[in-house]
Amino acid sequence: MNRMTYQGYEASISFDEDATLFHGEVLNLRDVVTFQGQSVTDLKEAFAESIDDYVAFCKQRGEEPERPYSGQFIVRIDPPLHRDAVHAAQKAGVSLNRWMAETIERATNR
Protein backbone atom coordinates (compact mmCIF):
# COMPACT_ATOMS: atom_id res chain seq x y z
CA MET A 1 0.00 0.00 0.00
CA ASN A 2 1.32 3.40 -0.93
CA ARG A 3 1.07 6.56 1.13
CA MET A 4 1.06 10.28 0.48
CA THR A 5 1.03 13.35 2.71
CA TYR A 6 -0.44 16.83 2.56
CA GLN A 7 -0.13 19.45 5.32
CA GLY A 8 0.83 16.72 7.79
CA TYR A 9 -2.15 14.50 6.93
CA GLU A 10 -1.32 11.03 5.66
CA ALA A 11 -3.39 8.93 3.28
CA SER A 12 -3.22 5.36 2.07
CA ILE A 13 -3.51 4.88 -1.68
CA SER A 14 -4.77 1.93 -3.69
CA PHE A 15 -5.43 1.39 -7.38
CA ASP A 16 -8.57 -0.18 -8.85
CA GLU A 17 -7.54 -1.78 -12.14
CA ASP A 18 -11.13 -2.37 -13.27
CA ALA A 19 -12.15 1.27 -12.78
CA THR A 20 -8.65 2.57 -13.61
CA LEU A 21 -8.85 4.86 -10.59
CA PHE A 22 -6.59 5.62 -7.68
CA HIS A 23 -8.43 5.71 -4.35
CA GLY A 24 -7.17 7.42 -1.22
CA GLU A 25 -8.28 7.53 2.40
CA VAL A 26 -6.93 9.87 5.05
CA LEU A 27 -5.51 7.94 8.00
CA ASN A 28 -5.87 8.53 11.74
CA LEU A 29 -9.04 10.64 11.70
CA ARG A 30 -12.39 9.88 13.33
CA ASP A 31 -14.07 11.42 10.28
CA VAL A 32 -13.86 9.54 7.00
CA VAL A 33 -12.08 11.55 4.31
CA THR A 34 -11.64 9.87 0.92
CA PHE A 35 -10.65 11.00 -2.56
CA GLN A 36 -9.88 9.59 -6.00
CA GLY A 37 -8.22 10.41 -9.29
CA GLN A 38 -7.35 8.89 -12.64
CA SER A 39 -3.73 10.05 -12.52
CA VAL A 40 -1.19 10.80 -9.84
CA THR A 41 -1.64 14.51 -10.53
CA ASP A 42 -5.43 14.19 -10.21
CA LEU A 43 -5.00 12.19 -7.01
CA LYS A 44 -2.69 14.78 -5.43
CA GLU A 45 -5.13 17.57 -6.31
CA ALA A 46 -8.10 15.60 -4.96
CA PHE A 47 -6.19 14.85 -1.72
CA ALA A 48 -5.39 18.54 -1.20
CA GLU A 49 -9.00 19.53 -1.96
CA SER A 50 -10.33 16.88 0.44
CA ILE A 51 -8.11 18.11 3.28
CA ASP A 52 -8.94 21.76 2.56
CA ASP A 53 -12.67 20.88 2.49
CA TYR A 54 -12.34 18.93 5.74
CA VAL A 55 -10.65 21.86 7.49
CA ALA A 56 -13.27 24.30 6.14
CA PHE A 57 -16.12 22.00 7.19
CA CYS A 58 -14.73 21.76 10.73
CA LYS A 59 -14.41 25.55 10.87
CA GLN A 60 -18.02 25.89 9.67
CA ARG A 61 -19.14 23.57 12.51
CA GLY A 62 -17.08 25.58 14.99
CA GLU A 63 -14.75 22.64 15.67
CA GLU A 64 -11.01 22.29 15.51
CA PRO A 65 -10.02 19.87 12.75
CA GLU A 66 -8.41 16.72 14.00
CA ARG A 67 -4.68 17.01 13.50
CA PRO A 68 -2.50 14.11 12.48
CA TYR A 69 -0.50 12.49 15.23
CA SER A 70 3.11 13.62 15.34
CA GLY A 71 4.43 10.21 16.31
CA GLN A 72 6.01 11.67 19.43
CA PHE A 73 4.84 11.55 23.02
CA ILE A 74 6.37 11.76 26.47
CA VAL A 75 5.98 8.87 28.88
CA ARG A 76 6.81 9.23 32.56
CA ILE A 77 7.69 5.99 34.31
CA ASP A 78 9.48 4.97 37.48
CA PRO A 79 13.29 4.94 37.14
CA PRO A 80 13.55 1.16 37.76
CA LEU A 81 11.09 0.50 34.92
CA HIS A 82 13.06 2.89 32.70
CA ARG A 83 16.25 0.94 33.48
CA ASP A 84 14.52 -2.39 32.75
CA ALA A 85 13.21 -1.07 29.44
CA VAL A 86 16.69 0.10 28.41
CA HIS A 87 18.11 -3.33 29.31
CA ALA A 88 15.36 -5.08 27.33
CA ALA A 89 16.09 -2.89 24.31
CA GLN A 90 19.81 -3.58 24.58
CA LYS A 91 19.13 -7.31 24.85
CA ALA A 92 16.96 -7.09 21.71
CA GLY A 93 19.73 -5.16 19.94
CA VAL A 94 17.59 -2.11 19.19
CA SER A 95 17.27 1.43 20.46
CA LEU A 96 14.91 2.16 23.34
CA ASN A 97 12.73 4.10 20.92
CA ARG A 98 12.49 1.14 18.48
CA TRP A 99 11.89 -1.30 21.36
CA MET A 100 9.04 0.87 22.69
CA ALA A 101 7.47 1.18 19.24
CA GLU A 102 7.64 -2.60 18.70
CA THR A 103 6.22 -3.25 22.17
CA ILE A 104 3.32 -0.87 21.55
CA GLU A 105 2.69 -2.44 18.13
CA ARG A 106 2.43 -5.88 19.74
CA ALA A 107 0.19 -4.57 22.54
CA THR A 108 -2.18 -2.91 20.07
CA ASN A 109 -2.24 -5.92 17.69
CA ARG A 110 -0.85 -3.95 14.76
In this predicted model, what pLDDT tens digit does every residue of 89-99 receive, in sequence order? 999 999 999 99
Average pLDDT over residues 78-101: 94
Do residues 34 and 74 make contact, with C-beta atoms less than 8 angstroms apart? no
With H, G, I as helix, E, B as strand and everything else as coil, classify residue 98: helix
Neighbours of 95 (CB within 10 A): 12
For the stretch 46-77, pLDDT in tens is 999 999 999 999 999 999 999 877 777 889 99
With H, G, I as helix, E, B as strand and everything else as coil, classify residue 4: strand
CA distances from 106 to 16, 37, 74 (A): 31, 35, 19
Domain map (residue ranges) of the chain: 2-61, 74-110
The answer, yes or no, to whether residue 109 has pLDDT greater than 90, is no
Q: What pTM was estimated for this model as a whole?
A: 0.64
Do residues 26 and 36 make contact, with C-beta atoms less than 8 angstroms apart? no
Domain 2-61: CATH class, spelled out = alpha beta
